[in-house]
Amino acid sequence: MSSDLRASILDPAAIERKLALNNYNVDRSRAHIEIIDPETCLKCVRQQCINCCPANCYAPMPDGHVVFSYEGCVECGTCRIVCNEFENVLWSYPRGGFGIQYRYG
């Protein structure tokens, strides 16, 4: 493996630079992902959605709740998988014509 490739893999800012190249047509009338019951997040010790979402769509609040914003979602489905203890994520793709438009990969 070349040192340039290795450096790009280890670069923590690389994902942010790639995501910044994408375009989003945000559907303001319909969130394609929702937290079903915000109070359920208080029972979840791991809150893996926060750690696993590559687009940082989930953010922890000081009181233990989780705030979600769908606008920057890359539609990878990770949060749907990792919220397997409480199944508290209602997940669907955006309507046709909305969502991410990839510019890199």
Summarize as ranges the residues that interact with ligand SF4 (CB under 6 A).
Answer: 33, 53-55, 57, 73-79
From the CB of 19, what's the least distance to ligand SF4, in Å? 9
Question: Comparing C-alpha atoms, which of 21, 30, 28 is closest to residue 93?
Answer: 30
Quick one: 6 or 87, whose CB is closer to ligand SF4? 87
Quick one: 41 or 57, whose CB is closer to ligand SF4? 57
Q: Classify each residue of 31-45 as buried b or exposed e, where b means 16 or more C-beta atoms within 10 Å of its C-beta.
A: bbbebeeeeebeebe
Quick one: 66 or 79, whose CB is closer to ligand SF4? 79
